[in-house]
Structure 1
Amino acid sequence: MERRSLLAASAVASALAAPAITHAQTRIRWRMPGSFPKSLDTLYGTQERICRRVREMTDGAFDLQPFGPGEVVPALSVMDAVGQGSVECGYTSAYYYLGKDPSLSIATCLPFGLSGRQNWSWLNEGGGRELLREVYRDQGVIGIPAGNTGAQMGGWFRREINTVQDLQGLKFRIAGFGGAVLQKLGVVAQQIGGADIYPALERGVIDGAEWVGPYDDEKLGFQRVARFYYAPGWWEYAPSIDLMVNPAAYEALPNHYKVILETACAEAWHWMAARYDSLNPQALRRLVASGTQLRIFPRDVLMACYRSAQELYAELGNNNARFKRIHAEWDKYRMDQTQWFRIAEDSLANFLSLAAQQQR
């Protein structure tokens, strides 16, 4: 009897203690504006997922509220709002702000750069986050990797790209340093927020545009205003998206909330990549079936762009010592990864592609 009484008392004590722990959680509410249209259920959906996971892991005590572009701040002003303390955090891509510091582009991706796995490896095991910390600090933010699209497509064009000369005078929507690379080859590069790309293409303000890949591009309707769809998206092999956090707001968090935020962002990074890998093949088949003309950039066009990219990095390094230092570390890691993947994975991937074709 005595033992049963002790067990019963212990059970009651546990039941009473559980709510006490929940109520002891520090209650915090943050706003999280983002740069990606709410119509895109993977990009904006990842922003929502981070908010939901943080709420779940804190029993609702840490309440992140997601907002789409323009609801709190414009799509391309999220980092500025976070740095100024207008909002506590925001979901955006660092390379949207490379005009402030070219090193911000390395935080997202560089043309002819790293795959998704390689990017995660560099950021978390290759010293990338440590190298980039000072870059974010100068913008008044803390950057946490929180999304990755995986390999992207090369965009939509009104006419075919058969030679390097076909790039001359082309008005093309493109983000990051891809635009600077193409400008060297005569392209008129323009950065336009996601929600404004379709009307710009429809009205002929631009001749082509890149966004992400088949699933999102189909949702935005680009196939209705441009016929030719190109691969690969060499300027964005696998861009990383950030949760940017105001340092004062971050330091005010309890330590376990900081851990929860990191955990939710890491989950989101991999969830986004997995979801795109699942959805893009189906969407590409639908696009081709509806009349989209799928094309691969000619080898001489890719090589011209690659050389242009290397020239750009050298020029940026000559004018910005920090970019030169971080890029040197990034490029060494890239070369090591390229050699390893060539031996261990690319050889098998190429064989499997050939075997699959013969099997049909």
Structure 2
Amino acid sequence: MTTRRKFLKTAGVGVAAAPLATPALAQSTITWRMQTYAGPALAEHVIDPAIKMFNQIAGDRMQIELFYADQLVPTGELFRAMQKGTIDAVQSDDDSMASPTEVTVFGGYFPFASRYSLDVPVLFNQWGLNEIWDEEYSKVGVKHISAGAWDPCHFATKDPINSLEDMKGKRIFTFPTAGRFLSQFGVVPVSLPWEDIEVAVQTGELDGIAWSGITEDYTVGWADVTNYFLTNNISGAWAGHFFANMDRWNELPEDLQTLFKVCCDQSHYYRQWWYWGGEANLRVNGTKMQLTTIPDEEWATVEQAAVKFWDEVAAESETKAKVVDIFKRYNAEMLKAGRPYRYG
């Protein structure tokens, strides 16, 4: 694990050597510190290109120093650090960064809220989620900049999962809300620093991971320590966001705000094709994990449990009820639309 103490000892070397660093800045250059939920291998795809693009275009006007998972603060403290201004911007889901808002439960993988990655931007841009997120984060001094989709949520495990019975007792690294949902099927959710996961699987502290799709399993090394990949998923796409401290955001000139938004959109677009193509390619051509599947009839009980879970969450507050209502209406419309939107 990259501890904060170790980071302070090595930060000077690491930042100076980082490709995103800019050696000589004008005195008037605006500088931000941004931390992502992702470790270096994953960040190479989910955030590095966008920040490199921003820094190249902004030049001496503004530069963003990018830090990876747990480098400045643990992921679970990202929200507080950003709210206080210790960190200027964050890439994460609401759930992982322990956001104290009414929408936190929907961040990351809310069970069966989406089937495909395109569902996420449609829900935010056409079905009203952007407005709800903007309102919730404005209340707590944080700017919600942009939402996008990542990969679906699958199990990668050391032992095969061919039935719901096989899930029982499995110690799984996953997101808080996903863990809360999966625990009813005997899954034991485990929370650990992101960089500790591979070793935890090797030592037996974890039986598997339900944190990503197969693209990330290969990219970050988890496919090297797990043997099986379950093709059933509990969500078609992770919902993640870009955020900024509200004061820092408001201090930016309008054109730099626009540039940051454009680079965020480029990041969302990159992930759309990187994950979509990667998931299919590695299922067909990957050699490190064997695919397993729980029969549709049995998996239907998990989908039915999700509907009950949605209702439980909706009962917790008016805002949560509003979001759940949008999910229900959206999925009902997709089902009526038929193929390729929904079927079965």
Q: Report whether the alignment pairs 1:296 with 2:298.
A: no
User: Following superposition of structure 1 onto structure 2, how do residues 231-310 of structure 1 map, counting pairs within 5 Å?
Assistant: 231-235=231-235, 237-287=236-286, 289-290=287-288, 292-310=289-307
Paired residues of 2:32 and 2:64 also in contact (CA < 8 A): yes
How far did residue 101 of structure 1 move?
4.1
* Mapped contact 1:215–1:280 kept (Cα < 8 A): yes
Cα separation, 2, equivalents of 1:147 and 1:165: 34
Other structure's SS at 1:232 match: coil
1:148 partner amino acid: A
- The equivalent residue for 1:324 is 321
Whether the 8 Å CA contact 1:174–1:191 is kept in 2: the answer is yes
Larger C-alpha radius of gyration, 1 or 2? 1
Alignment partners' CA distance in 2, 1:322 and 1:122:
15
Residues 266 and 127 of structure 1, relative CA distance in 2, 3 Å threshold: same
2:64 matches 1:64: yes
What is the aligned partner in structure 2 of residue 334 from structure 1? 331
Q: Deviations over 1:308-339 (max 9, x none)?
A: 22222222222222211222123212321233
Q: How many residues align?
A: 319
Contact 1:159 1:228 in 2 (8 A): yes
Question: How many Å separate the matches in 1 of 2:180 and 2:106?
Answer: 14
Q: Does the CA contact (< 8 Å) of 2:334 and 2:342 recur in 1?
A: no
Whether the 8 Å contact between 2:147 and 2:240 is mirrored in structure 1 is: yes
Q: Does 1:119 align with 2:120?
A: yes
Measured against aligned partners, the alpha-carbon deviations of 1:130-176 in whole angstroms (never above 9, x if no partner) come to 011222234432222355324x2512123232333332222111114
Consecutive unaligned residues of structure 2, counting only runs of 5 or more, are: 1-25
8 Å CA contact 2:118–2:149 kept in 1: the answer is no
Most deviating of 250-259 and 96-105: 96-105
Cα distance between partner residues in 1 of 2:237 and 2:130: 16
C-alpha distance in structure 2 between counterparts of 1:75 and 1:300, whole Å: 37
Higher normalized helix content (fraction of residues): 1
Q: Deviations over 1:275-311 (max 9, x none)?
A: 2233344434453x34x22112322442222222222
Distance 1:147 1:125, change over 3 A: closer
Closer, same or farther in 2 for the Cα pair 1:142/1:87, shift >3 Å?
Answer: same
Q: TM-score, normalised by structure 2?
A: 0.83
CA contact (8 A) 1:148 1:270 kept: no
Unaligned runs of 5+ in 1: 1-23, 351-360
Name the Cα RMSD after superposition: 2.7
CA displacement at 1:192 relative to structure 2 = 3.0
Task: Give the direction of change, closer, same or farther, for the CA distance of 1:346–1:96 in structure 2 (3 Å limit).
Answer: same
Please point out which of 22, 32, 35 is paired with 2:34: 32
Contact 1:106 1:327 (8 Å CA) reproduced: no
3-state DSSP of counterpart to 2:308: helix
- In the TM superposition, what are the counterparts of 1:1-360 in structure 2 within 5 Å? 27-40=29-42, 43-97=43-97, 100-101=100-101, 103-114=103-114, 115-145=116-146, 147-150=148-151, 152-235=152-235, 237-287=236-286, 289-290=287-288, 292-340=289-337, 342-345=338-341
Do the aligned partners of 2:153 and 2:238 also contact (CA within 8 Å) in 1? Answer: no
TM-score, normalization by structure 1: 0.80
Work out the CA distance in 1 between the residues paired with 2:260 and 2:223: 37
Deviations 1:59-100 (A, max 9, x none): 441211111123222233222211121111111121214574
User: Which deviates further from its counterpart, 73-82 or 120-129?
Assistant: 73-82
> Which deviates the most, 317-326 or 131-140?
131-140
Change (3 A) 1:222 1:344: closer
Aligned to 1:21: none
Greater CA deviation, 172-181 or 277-286?
Answer: 277-286
Aligned partner of 2:30: which letter?
I
Whole-Å separation in 2 of the counterparts to 1:346 and 1:308: 19
- Work out whether residues 96 and 175 of structure 1, in 8 Å CA contact, stay in contact via their aligned partners in 2: yes
> Identity, % of aligned pairs?
17
Comparing 331-340 and 85-94, the one that deviates more: 331-340
